[in-house]
């Protein structure tokens, strides 16, 4: 019997994949019901989600928006649903949302903090999205640290100009001295010149120019600041200033100069060993004791300084972790190229260390932004302090969840945005191959 073999001369046409393996059905089958254990967990999770939403959604949507007191809210609930249970009274938000956002800031000047926030977003754009935004906006980025305080507090235009001139004076002295002496002496001379300008000469310059050209806007006292506006103000300053200070502290901690190293170590360990609330009490109560008599040191400025120093200490340790993660070959490569210390840090070491540290840096940013709520303990009316004041009002005495749900939503929007941006930045800077 002969063996007859057959060889196919044409390829079979490509078949469509089974319907159970692609699309929504395929995703559900592979991710939610891939085994009996996953199936049980999926069903339990769906029940838990349904149980939570069944209670939360009616509370949010079957609610009262137009009421002037909690009692009025309850009367409307009884008339509409026959019960006050399971229904939110959003009338308090409708009645007090401007106060929760702006505190006691004069209502006819709300345009100033709103403009400051919009300019902040524009000023951050060339820093956060350098490949998508025109670099000309960096001019606004450089001006914004002087423009924002003027918009928020008001007063003469010459105060922020005088503050900016301090940097110009310091740079000028650094450039002139640098031609004669070493960079270290030039840096010390430049810093000293800026401090002399700010502490001694600035007030004379401001007063003289204000008398010649009185240009300014209405002044707003710090005690009028409050609400979520205050949280954003403190958070932006602490985040923006703590990063460069943290970088300097991290480099100082790794320095071969013993005095610099021990000063940085001492500062970092002391600040990290003390709760933030203690530092805020120091800023609020004790700092004035050590100031010269008659010195008026703004309470918000004191809180900004303490929160910035607190954040900088944690930032320094995060960045030091990034520096420690770099292989030794990166330092040796910088040396082999003939780069000096600062060139190596700027071009090779620090960009890689910051890239490694992005998750920790953003976590520190989010943490310090949420910690701004602690200022309510020292008498500043941030959004938490205002919530307590609103609940003390007889009209809204007894309201609770609605206020804190609104505050939680505000903080979630900001913190979630920072988290998403950090993920975008990590993807953008990813250079490894998977």
Q: Is residue 240 in a domain?
A: no
Q: Is residue 407 in a domain?
A: no
Q: Give the model's pLDDT for residue 216.
A: 87
Q: Give the model's pLDDT for residue 433.
A: 47
Q: Is residue 316 in a domain?
A: no
User: Among 94, 92, 95, 102, which residue's Cα sits nearest to residue 398?
Assistant: 92
Q: Is residue 37 in a domain?
A: yes
User: Among 60, 66, 68, which residue's Cα sits nearest to residue 88?
Assistant: 60
Q: What is the DSSP string of 209-270?
A: HHHHS--EE----GGG--HHHHHHHHHHHHHHHHHHHHHHHHHHHT-S-HHHHHHHHHHHHH
Residue 340 clears pLDDT 50, i.e. is over it: yes
Residue 311 clears pLDDT 90, i.e. is over it: yes
Q: Is residue 116 in a domain?
A: no
Q: Retrieve residue 286's tokens.
A: 């004790």
Q: What's the predicted TM-score (pTM) here?
A: 0.84
pLDDT digits (tens, 9 = 90+) for 167-222: 999 998 888 887 777 777 788 888 899 999 888 888 888 989 989 888 889 999 98
Domain count across the chain = 2
Find the domain containing 182 and state its range. 155-217
Q: Is residue 176 in a domain?
A: yes
Residue reference for tokens 């008026």: 296
Q: Is residue 324 in a domain?
A: no
For residue 217, list its beta bridge partners: 155
Q: Is residue 284 in a domain?
A: no
Please tell me the distance from the alpha carbon of residue 157 to that of residue 165, in angstroms, as a whole number.
13
Least confident of 2-16, 226-240, 381-395: 2-16
Backbone angles phi, psi at 325, to 5 degrees: -80, -15
């Amino acid at each position: 019997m002969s063996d007859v073999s057959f060889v196919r001369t044409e390829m079979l046409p490509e078949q469509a994949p089974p319907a159970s393996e692609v699309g929504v059905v395929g995703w559900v089958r592979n991710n939610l019901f891939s085994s009996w254990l996953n199936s049980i967990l999926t069903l339990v999770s769906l029940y838990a989600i349904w149980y939570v939403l069944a209670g939360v959604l009616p509370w949010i949507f079957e609610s009262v928006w137009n009421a002037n007191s909690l009692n009025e809210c309850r009367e409307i609930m009884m008339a509409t649903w026959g019960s006050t249970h399971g229904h939110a009274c959003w009338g308090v938000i409708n009645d007090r949302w401007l106060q929760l956002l702006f505190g006691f800031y004069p209502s006819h000047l709300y345009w100033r903090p709103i403009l400051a926030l919009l300019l902040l977003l524009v000023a951050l754009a060339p820093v956060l999205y350098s490949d998508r935004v025109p670099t000309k906006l960096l001019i606004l980025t450089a001006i914004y640290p002087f423009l924002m305080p003027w918009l928020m507090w008001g007063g003469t235009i010459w105060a922020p100009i005088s503050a900016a001139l301090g940097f110009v004076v310091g740079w000028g002295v650094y450039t002139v001295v640098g031609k004669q002496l070493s960079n270290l002496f030039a840096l010390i001379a430049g810093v000293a010149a800026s401090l002399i300008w700010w502490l001694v000469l600035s007030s004379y310059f401001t007063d003289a120019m204000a008398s010649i050209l009185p240009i300014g806007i209405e002044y707003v006292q710090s005690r009028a600041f409050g609400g979520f506006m205050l949280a954003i103000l403190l958070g932006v300053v602490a985040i923006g200033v703590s990063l460069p200070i943290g970088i300097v502290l991290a480099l100082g901690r790794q320095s071969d100069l013993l005095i610099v190293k021990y000063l940085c170590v001492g500062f970092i360990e002391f600040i990290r060993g003390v709760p933030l609330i203690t530092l805020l009490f120091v800023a609020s109560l004790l700092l004035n004791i050590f100031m010269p008599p008659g010195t008026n040191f703004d309470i918000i400025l004191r809180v900004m300084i303490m929160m910035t120093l607190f954040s900088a200490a944690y930032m320094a340790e995060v960045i030091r972790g990034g520096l420690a993660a770099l292989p030794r070959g990166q330092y040796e490569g910088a040396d082999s190229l003939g780069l000096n210390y600062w060139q190596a840090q700027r071009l090779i070491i620090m960009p890689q260390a910051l890239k490694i540290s992005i998750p920790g840096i953003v976590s520190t940013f989010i943490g310090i932004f949420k910690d701004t709520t602690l200022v309510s303990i020292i008498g500043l009316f941030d959004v938490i302090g205002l919530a307590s004041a609103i609940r003390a009002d007889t009209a809204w005495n007894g309201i609770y969840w609605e206020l804190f749900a609104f505050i939680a939503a505000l903080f979630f929007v900001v913190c979630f945005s920072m988290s998403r941006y950090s993920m975008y930045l990590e993807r953008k800077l990813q250079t490894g191959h998977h």
